[in-house]
Structure 1
Amino acid sequence: MRPVGVPAEAPAVLATHASATVDATVQAPVAYLRTPVLLLMAVATGLCAGSNYFNQPLLHSIAVGLRVSEAAAALTVTLAQVAYAFGLLLLVPLGDKLERRALAVGLMVLSALGLLISGYAQGFGMLVAGTVLTGLFSVAAQTLVPMAATLSDPRRSGQAVGLVMSGLLTGILVARSVAGLLSGVGGWSMVYRAAAVAMLVLAAALWFALPRSRNPSPASYLRLLRSLGTLFMRHPRLRSRALLGALSFGAVSVLFSTMALLLAGPGYRMGDAAIGLVGLVGVAGALTASVAGRLADRGWGQTTSTVGVLMLLASWGLLWLGIDHLGWFLLGMLLIDIGLPSVHISNQNVIYQLAPEARARINAVYMTSYFTGAASGSALGAFAWRHGGWQTTCLFGAAVALLAGVALVYDQRLARRSAD
């Protein structure tokens, strides 16, 4: 069966010398991916990424259902993130060694197995096992993103990455709200069971939609892992953009770790459902990722990064005013959710050009830094809230955004040096 989006008359191999952005050691795809396939990849990445966030609104129900404390139930949130970090380091680099379609689909099937174990958990230990498996193998999302860059028209690779990343970011933001609604209909276990079925359906669709693709000269697994450090040291802009990504996501995570505390407090007194609906404001921001990708393709990547960082910084002023005014809070949240993908997509547009033959490993290095920043931002937000409330939280968030601006200035200097 011919992959979806691949015309019958397409040549078997595209000449890699047609684009300076594609390294000669990278096997050329049968044909460039078309929009329907990219949309399918976007949905798949959204579900993979979102599967690690289903448990956040369900902690009380899980604690009651499995007869454990809420503190124990909350441990599953940490385990999911830790497992995801290990997957980024240990599994994502395999995209530069194994056949990429089989790798992505195989990881999704294993992630679905983890969801099924969680959905049919009869005890807390079984839920922990399912959570760890899901988190570890849900990095399938991070194998699909570099595939979008590798298998797309080099002139539109930023747009392709932006489209797939829109799905990933939307999945993260929508997961909490969807989980709350499904739990209200059929209990917390229904969330995991439904997600597992959806994951298997999408894995099957991707198997038939994606062309086969692999690095024709793969290194051994140990060499791949060692090369992560080599790539990090060899490319200064990988370091600068990884730092920029970590600080940007860290600034946003300060908000995500504390907004529920503000909205549930005496100023707003919102319930879980209402807080979840407020979170949907960020979906509009996630959908701008494709716009950021188009701008990067047109040579506006640095400008997009600058505007994104300025949005992150300005949003904290609006969020400060939002302590007792929902309109300001929603506007600040929208701005921060537009700024983050603007920085993130322009980051990926830069790093994927550094070593086209090692995009999976480049992505592993960058995303590990990215989610380390997120974890650090969450911890910082919790610390600020505990010691000074919302206004102190806003000051900490603004400080991290300001540091992101410093990292961007450093990256721009590196860009000018490389251009000279």
Structure 2
Amino acid sequence: MPPNPLRPYRQEQKMTQASAIAGAPEDMVKTDAQPANLGPVLTTFFAFACGALAANLYYAQPLVALIGADTGLSVAAESAIVTVAQLGYAIGLVLLVPLGDVVENRRLILVTMAANLVALAGLALAPGLTALFAAMLFVGVSSTAAQMLVPLAANLAPPDERGAVVGNVMSGLLAGILLARPAASFLADYVGWRGVFGLSGALVAVLMVAALVLLPQRRPEGTRGYGALIASLGKLFVHQKVLRRRGLYHAAMFGAFSLFWTAAPIILLREPYGFSPSGVALFALAGVLGVFAAPVAGRLADRGYTRVGTIAAIATVVLAFVAALFGETSLVALVAAGILIDLGVQANLVFGQREIYQLDASIRNRLNAVYMTTFFLGGALGSALTSPVLETFGWTGICVIGIAMPGAALAYFLVADRGAEASASA
């Protein structure tokens, strides 16, 4: 479509080729001032804050049985607690994170963190199931402050340091995700499940004070209205094949991840294991090894091994669930499965992020929002299936679904990748 001759030439110049390919209008294009110089203190703050905020979604995974017993929630519905948090996160990714392309970033992050603090306090004090689920939903929505910080770090970093900065911040975010489960299990033995969320609220309060001191302002120049801004997300999903495919690949992977890490603590608390929450915490520490997959995956992608790395990452999760078939009676098999699942999922996340961050830097918040929303919906599906499948089909049913999800992603990747190669050679 030719440019509108009535539009001023100055605005015509703002449109980048990437935005045109994405179907993105001119006001999506970033025209911010020169990036600020990120020092080690600010980079460390970004990493730590992202990890602490993202952890809010995972504290409940090893605690669902304790929460259910305390609130009278049926065993078959316990995993819905995790599902609600993930659905809330998906809502926040769609409705809040895109605002980072048009609203002053520091203020947006501080307001969202304040909402997170209120939601965590409400969860810790929830008197009944209705309040519990409402608070958990808003914890998920407001924890998306983490996904506002990642693009902000990328936008503030000088171009020649952007990869290293984003890698460091993502390592902090992944560490928060992976440490949340063992930390919650360990602390629950001493302060109960409510105390876990109360302590998380205290940590967020400290981070808010630090953010007031450390976070610089960033004023994006996008002027698009809120309704049109949110509507543009669907256009990006439709027009950006790489974004859509990467989101769907990781939706299947994250669904398997949520399935395993919601189900495994439940069976460990039962016979023949009979673990205490502290014992579950020690088991969950196995997953922390997954954080080492992020920098390795980033280096492989930089060297042109994205295709091979993606196949290896997805296949690793398939093999992990094959090993997990023996996990009902073998703790070694269960630990091995947990390590492999986290390694594969975290590696695939980094491969996907690297691909989508190359599409258009001017709309990075929205690209991030679409990608994260897509795969968090997969995670919500995985956690929603956990309790009913475990009660009806047992651990074997969990493993069969865990094999099927990444298996479908691998098949889709091979078909889509072959199609992309054929198009490129035509």
Normalised TM-score (structure 2): 0.83
3-state SS, counterpart of residue 325 of structure 2: helix
Cα-Cα RMSD? 3.0
Give the Å deviation of 1:371: 0.9
The residue identity in structure 2 corresponding to 1:292 is A
- Percent of aligned pairs with the same amino acid: 36
Give the Å deviation of 1:369: 0.9
Whether 2:382 is the aligned partner of 1:374: answer no
Matches within 5 A, 1:37-76: 37-58=42-63, 68-71=71-74, 76=81
| Among candidates 215, 226, 232, match of residue 221 of structure 1 | 226
CA contact (8 A) 1:160 1:293 kept: no
Q: How has the CA–CA distance of structure 1 residues 245 and 106 changed in structure 2, closer, same or farther, with 3 Å as cutoff? A: same
Whether 2:319 is the aligned partner of 1:300: answer no
| Among candidates 252, 256, 262, match of residue 261 of structure 2 | 256
Whether 2:109 is the aligned partner of 1:104: answer yes
Tell me the residue number matched to 1:9: none
CA contact (8 A) 1:236 1:414 kept: no
Q: How has the CA–CA distance of structure 1 residues 131 and 319 changed in structure 2, closer, same or farther, with 3 Å as cutoff? A: closer
Q: How has the CA–CA distance of structure 1 residues 306 and 148 changed in structure 2, closer, same or farther, with 3 Å as cutoff? A: farther
CA distance in 1, matches of 2:128, 2:393: 38
Give the Å deviation of 1:345: 0.9
The residue identity in structure 2 corresponding to 1:100 is N
Q: How has the CA–CA distance of structure 1 residues 190 and 398 changed in structure 2, closer, same or farther, with 3 Å as cutoff? A: closer
> After alignment, is 376-385 or 279-288 more displaced?
376-385
Tell me the residue number matched to 1:329: 334
Give the Å deviation of 1:401: 1.4
How many residues align structurally?
400
Give the Å deviation of 1:156: 4.8
| Among candidates 213, 236, 253, match of residue 231 of structure 1 | 236
Tell me the residue number matched to 1:150: 155
CA distance in 2, matches of 1:390, 1:128: 26
CA distance in 2, matches of 1:38, 1:175: 21
Q: How has the CA–CA distance of structure 1 residues 123 and 373 changed in structure 2, closer, same or farther, with 3 Å as cutoff? A: closer
The residue identity in structure 2 corresponding to 1:69 is G
Give the Å deviation of 1:166: 2.6
3-state SS, counterpart of residue 377 of structure 2: helix
> After alignment, is 75-84 or 216-225 more displaced?
75-84
CA distance in 1, matches of 2:82, 2:160: 39
Normalised TM-score (structure 1): 0.84
Whether 2:358 is the aligned partner of 1:314: answer no
Task: Pick 1 or 2: higher relative contact order, CA cutoff 8 A, min separation 6.
Answer: 2
Matches within 5 A, 1:123-138: 126-138=131-143
Offset from partner CA, 1:222-262 (integer Å, 9 cap, x none): 11111011111111111111111101112222312321243
CA contact (8 A) 2:87 2:376 kept: no
Tell me the residue number matched to 2:283: 278
Structure 1 residue runs of 5 or longer lacking an equivalent are 1-16
3-state SS, counterpart of residue 279 of structure 1: helix
Tell me the residue number matched to 1:353: 358
CA distance in 1, matches of 2:264, 2:193: 23
Offset from partner CA, 1:100-133 (integer Å, 9 cap, x none): 2221222112211222233345566554554333
